Amino acid sequence: MTEGMTRREFVRVAAIAAGTVAVGGGAYAAATWAPEEDAEAQLRTTMGAGMSKVLIVYGTKTGCTAGVAEHIAETLSAKGATVDVKPAADKPDPSAYDAVVVGSGIRMSSWHAPVKEWVAAHADALKARPTAFFTACLTMATDPEKADEVRAYTDTLIAETGVTPVDLGLFAGMNVPKKFSLPERLVMKMMKAPEGDFRDYAAVAAWTENAAPKLGLV
């Protein structure tokens, strides 16, 4: 998926890609365009054994954001917290936690739907405790000057839910073709997106260290 392109650009290129795949049969195109979440890409874990309890909720299709969530959890658990990491699709209850971190990858210039739905459903609980957001996006690797554009992907969610994060992390994502559907790979190729895993875990750790006090951890 070309996280850095505008919605209009994506729709135009995606239509070409879908048309190409449709040559082999409309049913095949429909089946490969939006695959179900890869079970192997989902991370569910608990780290640390501290008094403070932190919930990390994320959305991913390829495992990219799960990896970022895991490294955030490692840093927070080292700060003395008990950290639960769960995909938004599990619908965890944030009310039992002292702080929450929510993150997502980008699809069509937007966070994954399950994450946005989870934030909306638990807006009152999130507003009652320190909550941080993070976004994993390929654009941060290919064009860091578009950080404001990537940051804006959460603006609508913040406006609609009233959940204002105490901090917002922006991290580079990845483009590993085998993780994407055929039409998505075609789109990536047409846009000449660089291939590779560009996640910078040192940057993730640095952001988490900075965000920890805002989440109530010292």
User: Residues, the chain, total?
Assistant: 218
pLDDT at 174: 74
pLDDT at 18: 40
Helices (H), the chain: 7-22, 26-33, 64-78, 113-121, 123-127, 139-142, 147-151, 155-161, 182-190, 201-211
* pLDDT tens-digit readout, 88-144: 999 999 999 999 999 998 877 789 999 999 999 999 999 999 999 999 987 787 788
Least confident of 1-15, 101-115, 153-167: 1-15
> Roughly what angle, to the nearest 10 degrees, separates helices 201-211 and 64-78?
50
Domains in the chain, CATH or no CATH each: 38-174+196-215 (3.40.50.360)
Q: Is the pLDDT of residue 6 over 70?
A: no
Provide φ and ψ at 42, rounded to 5°. Answer: -90, 130
pTM of the model as a whole: 0.76
DSSP-derived secondary structure letter, 5: S
Percent of the chain's residues with pLDDT above 90: 56
Q: Which residues contact 101 (CB under 8 A, 6 or more apart)?
A: 54, 55, 56, 57, 69, 72, 76, 131, 132, 133, 134, 211, 215
Q: Taking the CB of residue 96, how many other CB atoms lie within 10 A of it? A: 10
